[in-house]
Amino acid sequence: MKKVIFAIFFFFVLLLSSCSVKLPSNQVEVAEGILEGVVVDDLRVFKGIPFAAPPVGDLRWKAPQPLEKWSGVKLAIDYAPAPMQGGNPQSGKSEDCLYLNIWTPAKNSNDKVPVLVWIYGGGFSFGSTSDPVHNGEHLARKGVVLVSIAYRVGQLGFLAHPELSAESSSNTSGNYGLLDMIAGLEWIQKNISSFGGDPDQVTIFGESAGGIAVSMLCASPKANGLFHGAISQSGGSFGPTRKTTFPGENMKTLPMAEEDGLEYAKMVGVSSIEDLRQVDAEKLPQGMGMGGAWPIVDGYVVPDDQFKLYESGKYNDVPVLIGYNSDEGLSFPSGNTPDDYINSVKNRFGPFADDLIEAYPPGDKLVTRSARNLMRDAAFGWHTWSWARLQSETGKSKAYLYYFDQHPEYPKDSPQFDHGTPHGVDVAYVFKNIDTTNPTISKSDLEISDIMSTYWTNFAKYGHPNSEEVPEWQSFTENNPVVMHLGPAAKLGPVPDENSLNVMDKYFEWRRSLEGSSWAND
């Protein structure tokens, strides 16, 4: 009798387990509970998904903490507020800001679709996932799960302070924004399969500060194994640390950054971190132009000067697709007149100023494209070129280098005649979110946008950008230092302004020497 009863009980257990409740297509179960998004044509879209506990109260200036489970169904249909910052993002802003968004073409959890994870730029002082240009619909329709991650910015994201270092188990502080990104990637590893994404095919990508963050994640042991490819647009951070920072030499050591933290507390008018945590987030001074708003070499998240890490092969060796825009210097001017330019170069580059002025000469009356290229290369070009060179020398994974030069053809008598592609323009092209109401947008713009979005999504799918739909893109090697020039057409070519880059390279080599370090930091 007991055997019969047991058999009946076992049968009902099996029956119940096989008849588990099937969720509607707009609902997904993750580790913390059930989420409800929306269906947009052929996509499922989930916005405002929490991936860590709100970093508020005692959690301000601490590494992100695990998220508590919720009961019932959590709506995920609207963007969450952006992090606290000086600007006014569309979705509002809040200290409770650790959320991500997902666009997925997958129909169920068995699809195993490659994953692209977007990290926004904004100088590490502003930015949001809700900017319309970051809408992931078009990329997702090219066969990837598109995820965008929020992270703390400004002093709330990167402030270092001796008291914060003392209370930390790692004896460091700062880099909370980078730790937010890592927490988001950990959440993706745990949960993305529920959205039909493949946790073994995750590619991170970002532009400007987002591209710099990508390079830092590639160098961070804390991010090891969390992604399998990396795309950096106008990013890279291969310059040495410097007490007084400049674009391309933005990094400080932990002791330098802790000094900034002490000054920041004085600015706020408090004497302790306990008191600083009591200040309303709206009243905290935030933004660029003051210390504590940039990642640092802390020996923990970022172990060392990234150039040295790559030289010694101490990085996360994954395929990379990296590049920059032709006229980044338009957005980072070095003076309005040739004399202003020369004085600014001498102030920053010291003993190397004359060589660099010769390599990047100004015009007689205007600061010309050749001069603007110095800022382009000091902030982005040299870093990206160095990244490709170092990875091709010390890594097993391939590097693909590009140069984006798509812009209107200005008439010769126009003041814009020598203008190329400024900073940030590439984002709309990659996401296929170009403003088609703009009268300057041409058929060529739409064509190169489609090519770029195909290269980017191919890279997420295959670990390389190539397919039959686009021109072949060869990897960058010492023996074949080729660059994909993305302009009215996509074609391979040489490294732009290589002779000038070599002069810039000599400057950075000297800066990494004892003499150069002493000159910059004394």
Q: How would you write the pLDDT of the chain (522 residues) with one tens digit per residue?
A: 445 444 444 444 444 444 445 788 899 999 999 999 999 999 999 999 999 999 999 999 999 999 999 999 999 999 999 999 988 898 999 999 999 999 999 998 889 999 999 999 999 999 999 999 999 999 999 999 999 999 999 999 999 999 999 999 999 999 999 999 999 999 999 999 999 999 999 999 999 999 999 999 999 999 999 999 999 999 999 999 999 999 999 999 999 999 999 999 999 999 899 999 999 999 999 888 788 999 999 999 999 999 999 999 999 999 999 999 999 999 888 888 999 999 999 999 999 999 999 999 998 888 889 999 999 999 999 999 999 999 999 999 999 999 999 998 888 888 888 899 999 999 999 999 999 899 889 999 999 999 999 999 999 999 999 999 999 999 999 999 999 999 999 999 999 999 999 999 999 999 999 999 999 988
- Report the distance separating Cα 267 and Cα 433, nearest Å: 41
CA distance 223 to 245: 26
Q: Quick check: is 20 in a domain?
A: no
Domain extent at residue 156: 27-521
Q: Provide the strand spans (E) within 105-196.
A: 113-119, 145-149
46 belongs to a structural domain: yes
Q: Helix, strand or coil for residue 438?
A: coil
Establish if 269 belongs to a structural domain.
yes
Q: What pLDDT is attached to residue 12?
A: 43
Q: In this predicted structure, what is the pLDDT of residue 411?
A: 87
Q: How high is the pLDDT of residue 272?
A: 95
The 3-state DSSP composition of the chain as helix, strand, coil percent (nearest 5) reads: 40, 15, 45
pLDDT of residue 505: 98
- Residue 337's domain is classified under what CATH number? 3.40.50.1820
Q: How many CA atoms lie within 13 A of 325 on its CB side?
A: 25
Query: Residue 336: its pLDDT value, please?
Result: 84
Q: Examine residue 134 and state whether it is found in any structural domain, yes or no.
A: yes
Q: What is the largest CA-CA distance in the chain?
A: 103
CA torsion through residues 508, 220, 184, 198, sign:
positive
448 domain residue, yes or no: yes
Q: What is the pTM of this model?
A: 0.94
- Looking at residue 13, its pLDDT comes to 40
Q: How far is the C-alpha of 288 from the C-alpha of 155, rounded, in Å?
A: 9
Query: So which residues are the catalytic ones?
Result: 208, 328, 423
- Tell me how many degrees the CA angle 322-324-329 measures, rounded to the nearest 5: 155
How far apart (Å, rounded) are the C-alpha atoms in residues 455 and 142?
A: 11
CA 417 to mean position of chain CA atoms: 31
Q: Percent of the chain, pLDDT > 70?
A: 96
**Is residue 101 a contact partner of residue 116, using CB atoms and an 8 Å limit?**
no
**CB 229, CB 203: distance < 8 Å:** yes
When divided into structural domains, the chain yields a total of: 1
Q: Is residue 299 part of a domain?
A: yes
Contact 454, 139 (CB under 8 A): no
Beta bridge partners of 231: 205, 321
**Is position 450 within any domain?**
yes
| Cβ atoms of residues 185 and 117 within 8 Å | yes
Question: CA triplet 162, 167, 170: central angle to 5 degrees?
Answer: 90
Tell me what pLDDT residue 21 has.
Answer: 58
**pLDDT given for residue 18 in this prediction:** 40
Report the first-to-last Cα separation within the chain, whole angstroms: 89
Confirm whether 7 is domain-assigned.
no
Predicted confidence at residue 16, as pLDDT, reads: 40
